[in-house]
Amino acid sequence: MKKVFTTLFAMASMALAVNAATEDDIKPMLHSYVCSLNNYNGNGATTFPKGELFGSGYFLSVTSNYNATNKGSIDIANTTTYTTTYGGAEADTARLAKKYNKYGSQLNSFRLKNAQDVIAFKPTAGAVVYVFGSGNNKAGASARIPKFATDAKLENALNEAPTDAYPSSSNYCYKFVVPAQFDGNTPLYVGSYNGDAFFSFIIVEAIEPAGTPSVEVGATAYDETNKLYYQEVTCTPNNYILDGDDMGATKVYYTTDGSEPTSASTEYTEPIKCTKDMTVKFQAYLDGELCEGANNEATVEFKFNAPTLTVDGANATIATEYMNATNYYSIDGAEGVAGDSYTATTSCNIAAYTVIQNGDVTWTSASVSSPIYVLDPIKEKKVITVSGSAVVDDAATAADPNGNTVYVASDAKLLYNGKDADPCFYLVPDATFSVIMVDTAQVDGQQVYLQMDKKNLTFMVAEGDSVNVKVTVSKNSHKNAETLQSYVNVNGTTYGHENIITEGNVIEFGLSAGIWSFEKYSGTGNIHVAAIEIEPVATEGIQNMVVAPVINANAPIYDVVGRQVTTPLKKGIYIQNGRKFIVK
């Protein structure tokens, strides 16, 4: 007997969630940092996932998406590419252009949108944040600027909303000073005011001791000559400036073994190519004397994307973008097996990941998972019904503003022919159940229903076969009192009635060979299903032959009340030759 999981989609989402980072994983930003946002979403071509650390682990994608295209570009060194400034940034742009000229031009490919697309980082008090981006040419109170807050919902904003005095901005630089409550351990959340805003750089200038070197970790690259992946750590020594006086250039020394660097350590002269995870520590010296507190460090951490997992029927294929790599798959949590393909004989959940060998270092990529459906075709009548009971949700009832009693489904499940038998002819990913307490909307006193709010049920009809399907929905499965349409959606095709009151709450249709899935019908609210019957159409010989009635095109036409009407007909439902038809 085949093994079928009704929670396969839930399992897949759980597998992905395990790899997600949270605010606890953000590194404190104790030093200055430049984040080139264009590096993290492939010029807007890659959707940035929720729970992803980026910018050397200093930033977290709190929500998801963040990609944008065709929103212009900014070159920090060229102040004509960001002609508008907010928050007093104008006074600093000349210095910024000189200090950060090496970054070149970057696309505004990273989107922040209200509280929908939000990022977070952990700065220290007094740090100055410069955000470079596009305001989509919005002006005044509608200007689209960054919104800084102490919470991910951006309800506790730290900067003021734009006013009528804000000029229209194509590209701009926005300046924000981090307030006193931030100590490097508290997340600062960034979204936007007024919708879509698009960014290329976030520069955080922390309050640091004189001579503190600037450090960056480059993106992962591949060395074709040595056949190795690497990340390049770049350090920029800074002059020792005390009370505005330039005391001269510093020398920087570094270590890669975790120890604190001294003047006897290796002097930094060129970018450091790292081929494994490590921490590189830097210390500045002036004329051979230690610059107290003028240290910094770079964390090199290699992360690799999950492979591409493609499922076609019972067949799964795995492909990776990386060199020196071996793909693995795991079935239902079992130990991983090396391979690029798998053919399932029973329904299951497959997870895939890639192992990359980099010299004597081994890395494992993130994983991806998917359900595989292996279905028994319909060969006899199947009836799917809903069981469960309605119980009072005490918490929701207490909080209901209108004093209504709120009910939820308890022990709800689908029954196959009235039993908990192995339903290997259908699959239901993470079913949702609803409660209907109004007796005039119930089906034979039933209170718990399958809620068609997503892809709800999949079944198979074998080649050469066909089936009749009968779906019984609740008696109020329509949008509202004015629009009484009631439909179900199967593989994008809708079946149902224009008027559930006059035509009833039972929807019938036929299906031929294929794999069929019930889905949400977007034209109405949630459809609440009491039962689904699937019955094969008999094909063994010709039985019960009857003569089809002659259709009289000139027969009288009646409305649904029984009154004879004349042509031309208005929109509505009519009856001719004993059959209903619709005029749209």
Selection from 127, 95, 117, 283 nearest residue 204 by Cα: 127
pLDDT of residue 577: 61
Dihedral angle at the C-alpha atoms of 182, 183, 185, 186, nearest 10 degrees? -10
Question: To which H or E segment does residue 170 belong?
Answer: strand 169-177
pLDDT digit string, tens, across residues 388-443: 999 999 998 998 888 899 999 999 988 988 887 656 677 776 788 999 999 989 99
In whole angstroms, what separates CA 214 from the centre of its chain? 34
Q: What is the DSSP string of 173-202?
A: EEEEE--TT-BSSS-EEEEESSSEEEEEEE
Q: Which domains does the chain have, with CATH numbers?
A: 31-205 (2.60.120), 214-300 (no CATH), 382-536 (2.60.120), 547-584 (no CATH)
pLDDT of residue 291: 95
Q: Which two tokens stand for residue 482?
A: 């004015």
pLDDT of residue 522: 64
- Start-to-end CA span in the chain (Å): 49
The CA distance from 127 to 208, in Å, is: 9
- Report DSSP state, residue 549: P
Dihedral angle at the C-alpha atoms of 352, 357, 363, 366, nearest 10 degrees? -30
Q: Would you tell me how many other CB atoms lie within 10 Å of the CB of residue 403?
A: 7
Question: To which H or E segment does residue 99 belong?
Answer: helix 93-99
pLDDT of residue 221: 92
Q: Which two tokens stand for residue 56?
A: 């050397």
In whole angstroms, what separates CA 41 from the centre of its chain? 14
pLDDT of residue 456: 79
Question: To which H or E segment does residue 397 belong?
Answer: helix 394-399
Question: To which H or E segment does residue 97 belong?
Answer: helix 93-99
pLDDT of residue 341: 97
- Report DSSP state, residue 145: -
pLDDT of residue 373: 78
pLDDT digit string, tens, across residues 80-118: 999 899 999 999 999 999 989 888 999 999 999 999 999
Q: Which two tokens stand for residue 205?
A: 């200038």
What residues in the chain have per-residue pLDDT under 50?
A: 1-18, 541-550
Looking at residue 123, its amino acid is: P
The CA distance from 94 to 527, in Å, is: 61
Burial of residue 77, with CB atoms counted within 10 A of its CB: 0-12 exposed, 13-18 middle, 19 or more buried: middle
pTM of the entire predicted model: 0.60
